[in-house]
Structure 1
Amino acid sequence: MSYAIVGFGKIGQALAHAFARKNINVTVASRRSPEELAPQAREIGHTVVAKSLQDALQADTIILAIPFGEHREMAKALPSWNGKTIIDAMNSFPTPPEELDGLTSSAFVAKSFTGANLVKGFNHLGAAKLATDPIVEGGHRVVFLSSDGEDAFAPVVDLAKQLGFAPVKLGKLNEGGALVSARGQVWGPLIFQDLFKKQP
């Protein structure tokens, strides 16, 4: 399984730290050139490699850590998203809810990435928390996952566990996804909740 993080701002870098901590190879890309990203990527860890956007999009699992307003343009970067797993780590705030066609932000994003298995995840924690070791006092920091495709969960659950997190499935995007959604004046009750799951 190959992984890429698209977007190398605070969230993208925090996730890169999570991969580096576990020595898992990950490609990172953004609007900036690979040459610009490379020093920062190397500083995070030797398993974090800056590449072009087109190279990054060859990965099996792609984490979107870009500003929400850029996702439709990003979706045009590949002619087909079939077979790809997309992890939506974005939040739509401050996009007005009326621009989302009455959908949760991830359901709205899924419309652009036709054919992909889209999972909402890694978006409810701030970058500082996301970057720190998720194993604390014998427990694992929780990440919430939502998807409209039951088969989409498996690779993301596996990745979350590899990174040291405790994945918790919340169900479909319009149900569980709404619990971790930040939109307009309505913020899901699980946004910024820093929860741990103890080992049995």
Structure 2
Amino acid sequence: MRIGTLGAGTVAQAIARHAIRHGHEVVLSNSRGPASLAPLVEELGTLATAGTPAQAAAADLVVLAVGWTRIPDAVAELPRLDGTVVVDATNQFASLPPNPRIADLGDLTGSEHVASLLPGARVVKAFNALHARYLAPDPRHEAGRQVLFLAGDDPDAKDTVKGLAAEFGFAPVDLGTLREGGRLIQLGGPLSALHVLQQD
């Protein structure tokens, strides 16, 4: 699978490393341009390349992993992503620590808002609820596999993400729709930052 990332920070890099470890190609992008990613691409090896956001968005699966306030700019110039599976790994921080504030979206979940900005895309909420120290290492432990919660409105898109997460070594748990399941794992939800293992 060819995986593109919108954003190249901690979360995107963790997912990219898992993907490359399992033989997937990764196209990383950020707001500063491909040249800024040259050292990272060299470190990741031959399965990694740097591209523009549009090039990353042309991949088979796209990971959105930018700061919440940067999402509109990150997606504004993209072509329509009709049918593309987009993994929403963002959290709705209107401001970051030390004075964190959760964005007020009214009745919408964060991923419903993201989906409204990406018409035609098949959005799956995943990889947002784990701290990087749990996301980056091998998710398989002696006591079990790291649980990865996900939610989405498209069953086939969720199956794609579940398959990828399982390949990485996670234990994917489908929570349902972006509205119901997404609310459980977004900031302030009861499963946000909950780190549990599933025994095999």
TM-score by length of structure 1 reads 0.89
Deviates more, 1:55-64 or 1:16-25: 16-25
Instruction: Please name the residue that 1:4 is paired with.
Output: 4
1:19-58 paired onto structure 2 within 5 Å: 19-58=19-58
Per the TM alignment, residue 76 of structure 1 is displaced from its structure 2 partner at its CA by 2.4
Per the TM alignment, residue 97 of structure 1 is displaced from its structure 2 partner at its CA by 5.8
The Cα RMSD (Å) is: 1.8
Question: Do 2:53 and 2:74's aligned partners in 1 also have CA atoms closer than 8 Å?
Answer: no
1:33-182 paired onto structure 2 within 5 Å: 33-94=33-94, 99-137=104-142, 139-182=144-187
Question: Do 1:17 and 1:45's aligned partners in 2 also have CA atoms closer than 8 Å?
Answer: no
Unaligned runs of 5+ in 2: 96-100
Show CA shifts across 1:18-69 (max 9, x none).
2233232211111122122021122134422222222111102100001112
Unaligned runs of 5+ in 1: none
- Number of residue pairs aligned between Structure 1 and Structure 2: 195
Q: Secondary structure at the match of 1:94?
A: strand
Per the TM alignment, residue 15 of structure 1 is displaced from its structure 2 partner at its CA by 1.6
1:38 counterpart letter in structure 2: A
Task: Give the Cα separation in 2 of the matches to 1:98 and 1:70.
Answer: 13
2:193 counterpart letter in structure 1: F
Q: Secondary structure at the match of 1:192?
A: coil
Task: Give the Cα separation in 1 of the matches to 2:46 and 2:130.
Answer: 25
Per the TM alignment, residue 138 of structure 1 is displaced from its structure 2 partner at its CA by 5.9
TM-score by length of structure 2 reads 0.89
Question: Do 1:19 and 1:48's aligned partners in 2 also have CA atoms closer than 8 Å?
Answer: no
Per the TM alignment, residue 131 of structure 1 is displaced from its structure 2 partner at its CA by 0.8
Task: Give the Cα separation in 2 of the matches to 1:165 and 1:86.
Answer: 19
Question: Do 2:64 and 2:90's aligned partners in 1 also have CA atoms closer than 8 Å?
Answer: yes
In percent, how many aligned pairs have the same letter? 37
Question: Do 1:18 and 1:130's aligned partners in 2 also have CA atoms closer than 8 Å?
Answer: no
Structure 1 residues 191 and 45: alpha-carbon distance in aligned structure 2, compared to 1, 3 A threshold? farther
Q: Secondary structure at the match of 2:158?
A: helix
Q: Secondary structure at the match of 1:100?
A: coil
1:6 counterpart letter in structure 2: L
Task: Give the Cα separation in 2 of the matches to 1:46 and 1:166.
Answer: 28
Per the TM alignment, residue 12 of structure 1 is displaced from its structure 2 partner at its CA by 1.4
Deviates more, 1:41-50 or 1:81-90: 41-50
